[in-house]
Structure 1
Amino acid sequence: MDRQGFRLRSQNDILGYLDSLPLERIRPNMSYAPRGARELNSSRAIDFTAPLRPERQPQNPPPSFHMGRSCQRFSKEGQSQSLSPFEAQLDPTSYLSNTSRPDQPRGLSAMAPVFTPRTYAPPAPFQPRFAPGAPPSSRAVPPSPLEPRVPPPLPWRAQRPTAPPRRNPSRFASPNYRGDPNNPNNQSANIPESESTAIYVEGLPADCTVRELLRAARGTGKLWASNVSPPTPQHPGSCGKLVFWARAGADRLLAMHAGGRFLVRGAAPTVKMNRWRSAARPEGDPRSRVVVVRGPARVANRPYLDAFFAGGEPGPKFDWDTDEVVARPHAREGWAELEYRFACHRAQASEAYRWIMIASGWWLPNEKEKRALGRDLSPEERDLWAEVKVSWGIDPCDPNPVPPKKEGETEE
């Protein structure tokens, strides 16, 4: 038997026919020598016929234990010497070796991934925008240029006409205005100035009254509203406002002022279009600022009607200013006719008309109005009020008045 055959026979006697083991069952870093082969001594018998049992090699062998070959070698006595793992042959400072790192968890394999602690980058140092001792002029930092926002083109969307900007209703209200500027009926109309019927008059005498202003506006047009504001620090004199029923009345007043014929106490005030705008009312409307009351003389008289209008809970039924009150005789004995010329149709003449219609029984009252009538009227007065008739009168400022309603018509 030659030398090579002798070596193969020795290996088979010691390892138990390595050729019979499948290769996929042989794992690295495992010793397939007989149990206790590494600790073999002369005083202990060795059973070479025992089955092979894998024995795990040390995970962290000493760095000085090196092998020249990557295979298992045997001594002359038949003992197997374990090979050092691959990590032991590497440089301790190499990134492939994690055995020399102090921050690794214990009990892991030498081939486990290297755990490095997470580090956070320190924040950038603070850089002031200007030097502490710099003059104020050099501290100004120019603003960064911003690109203008341009809406994306939408060719598929139809170009809708843009509505005119809405005017702030409370912005154009005078501080002397005694009404509610937040009421929609008291807000400026969203119309062009050429369609507005509101005229502003300034430079009036400090003690000017509504009656004097309306007398100066006779023959201009039917009026919807009028008022006079007292002087203020900004306006030493009184200021007035005239709102006509149609645009034609405002044009006549402007033409009268341009011709020097609009005078109040012999002086010409300043007349211009009011920034608070008002739309025209329907033509042919029989309503006006004048209310005509016909009935028994005990009811159709100014002291009694003024007391009736002023009685309410807790204040008067409504506030009003009168241009004048004209009393006329009636053909029926014991009756009278009274013409109330209020300064305004809305909230004055219209309220007087409504309360007279309710008191005379033509209109049904609500609960609040029932309580007011029960407090103000006696049973005898209720019988007198049942004969009272009311109608709209002719505005003395209207150059082309509409014939008034016939006596007895009660529908507004």
Structure 2
Amino acid sequence: MDISGTSCGRFAKELDAIDERIVLNVMVMDDGASLETLNSFRRQLGLGPSKNLISSGKPVSTPTPAGDCSNSDGCQHQPAENNDLTRTPHGGSVAESSPDQLHTPDAYQGNRALSRNRAADIPDDVNCRLWITGLPPHCTVQDLLQVIRGVGPIYATHIVPPSINETAPESSIHTSAASLTFFTVADTEKFLSKYHPFVVQGYSTTVIRHRIKTRPLEINGQSRVLVIKGPPAIVNPDHLNRAFTQLWNVRFNTDFIEHRPGKESSEIVWGFGSFRAQAQAGYVLLNRHFSGRVVVQYGDDPCA
């Protein structure tokens, strides 16, 4: 069916016409897949390939507390790759480790050359980032976050799936793990004091402070939930998902979506898996490209 004359068709053309030359830092990841993504955008800009992750494009301003590596959080539709290192359940990689070492936070080495992979120089008791092991094998961000209630808004989440080694089964890790970061120390402490143990789908987990320490960040009314209001041709889950993934290359997880369609105006409440680089990026981009047509506000995080 030809939709070119419909509101959906006009919206599709509009998306295709919006600042395709913009390179967004929020989608640049520190792995092999990210370099391919960066170079594809450099080709659009008429630039040659890059051997590093320094972009000449226009970045989205995303304030980050020291020691945060949550920019790697999320994106079920575009997983990161690391071809020369062994994946660990701690959000990073090590070259060679024993099974016991892989279950400890110190096993995560990551890329120490990156500032976001270096721990903030803060005491353990003000570290807002937690490490959760023993989660269900097929645990999703939604499975994790729906258990958390009455604590505080979530800054970032990242699920690490099981690591199955077919050639050395004894080294396999059959459960998932996750990093969970709150905005504030108070909310981090509230989580630790409330859940003894933290149970997800019948799996009793172990929760410790993450080795990569993350400083607290002022909330200032921000959250991982966006409330988006505007014309139905724009405020539609399918069209916004296309804008996020195809036009802006934002990498994200979705916890929940509530769509309230209307003839003149529609509303979407979109709960992302993280504020960092997900809801935060969506807020900036929607306000930038649909200013005057769409109203975007931060909503209440059900984890709070």
TM-score (norm 1): 0.44
* Matches of 1:205 and 1:253, distance apart in 2: 19
Task: Find the residue that maps to 2:189 and give its secondary structure.
Answer: helix
Q: Name 2:280's counterpart in structure 1.
A: 350
Task: Check 1:345–1:180 CA distance in 2 against 1; reply closer, same or farther (3 A cut).
Answer: farther
Q: Name 1:194's counterpart in structure 2.
A: 125
* Matches of 2:225 and 2:112, distance apart in 1: 25
Question: Quick one: which amino acid aligns to residue 243 of structure 1?
Answer: T
The structure in which a higher percent of residues are strand is 2
* Structure ID, larger Rg: 1
Q: Name 2:178's counterpart in structure 1.
A: 240
Matches for 1:248-327 after TM superposition, within 5 Å: 248-258=186-196, 260=197, 262-282=198-218, 285-312=220-247, 317-327=249-259
Contact 2:259 2:267 (8 Å CA) reproduced: yes
Matches for 1:105-254 after TM superposition, within 5 Å: 174-175=92-93, 182-232=113-163, 233=171, 235-254=173-192
* Matches of 2:252 and 2:123, distance apart in 1: 30
Say if 2:262 is the partner of 1:336. Answer: no
C-alpha distance after superposition, 1:288-328 (max 9, x if no partner):
1111110011111110100111123xxx5211111111113
Task: Find the residue that maps to 2:93 and give its secondary structure.
Answer: coil
After superposition, the CA RMSD in angstroms is: 2.5
Q: Name 1:390's counterpart in structure 2.
A: 296
* Matches of 1:235 and 1:279, distance apart in 2: 30
Q: Which residues of structure 2 form unaligned runs of 5+?
A: 1-66, 70-89, 95-107, 164-170
Q: CA deviation at 1:267?
A: 2.5
Question: Quick one: which amino acid aligns to residue 388 of structure 1?
Answer: V
* Matches of 1:187 and 1:234, distance apart in 2: 27
Question: Quick one: which amino acid aligns to residue 269 of structure 2?
Answer: E
Q: CA deviation at 1:175?
A: 2.0
Contact 2:151 2:191 (8 Å CA) reproduced: yes
Q: CA deviation at 1:185?
A: 3.9
Question: Quick one: which amino acid aligns to residue 294 of structure 1?
Answer: K
Matches for 1:16-165 after TM superposition, within 5 Å: none
Q: Name 1:27's counterpart in structure 2.
A: none
C-alpha distance after superposition, 1:97-139 (max 9, x if no partner):
xxxxxxxxxxxxxxxxxxxxxxxxxxxxxxxxxxxxxxxxxxx
Q: Which residues of structure 1 form unaligned runs of 5+?
A: 1-166, 362-385, 399-412
* Matches of 2:159 and 2:249, distance apart in 1: 22
Contact 1:225 1:344 (8 Å CA) reproduced: yes
> Structure 1 vs Structure 2: percent identity of aligned residues?
29
Contact 1:294 1:300 (8 Å CA) reproduced: yes
* Matches of 1:180 and 1:311, distance apart in 2: 28
* Matches of 2:111 and 2:230, distance apart in 1: 35
Task: Find the residue that maps to 2:122 and give its secondary structure.
Answer: coil
Q: CA deviation at 1:351?
A: 1.1
Q: CA deviation at 1:212?
A: 0.5
Contact 1:173 1:181 (8 Å CA) reproduced: no
* Matches of 2:119 and 2:269, distance apart in 1: 31
Question: Quick one: which amino acid aligns to residue 221 of structure 2?
Answer: P
* Matches of 1:266 and 1:208, distance apart in 2: 11
Question: Quick one: which amino acid aligns to residue 264 of structure 1?
Answer: V
Task: Find the residue that maps to 1:216 and give its secondary structure.
Answer: coil
Contact 1:173 1:276 (8 Å CA) reproduced: no
Task: Find the residue that maps to 2:199 and give its secondary structure.
Answer: coil
Task: Find the residue that maps to 1:277 and give its secondary structure.
Answer: coil
Q: CA deviation at 1:208?
A: 0.6
Contact 1:193 1:277 (8 Å CA) reproduced: yes
* Matches of 1:246 and 1:293, distance apart in 2: 26
Q: CA deviation at 1:353?
A: 1.1
The partner residue of 1:360 within 280, 286, 290 is 290
Contact 2:91 2:160 (8 Å CA) reproduced: no
* Matches of 2:111 and 2:228, distance apart in 1: 29
Task: Find the residue that maps to 1:294 and give its secondary structure.
Answer: strand
* Matches of 1:274 and 1:174, distance apart in 2: 12
C-alpha distance after superposition, 1:43-98 (max 9, x if no partner):
xxxxxxxxxxxxxxxxxxxxxxxxxxxxxxxxxxxxxxxxxxxxxxxxxxxxxxxx
C-alpha distance after superposition, 1:225-258 (max 9, x if no partner):
0110011245321001110011122212212232
Contact 2:134 2:203 (8 Å CA) reproduced: no
Relative contact order, CA 8 A, sep 6+: which one is greater? 2
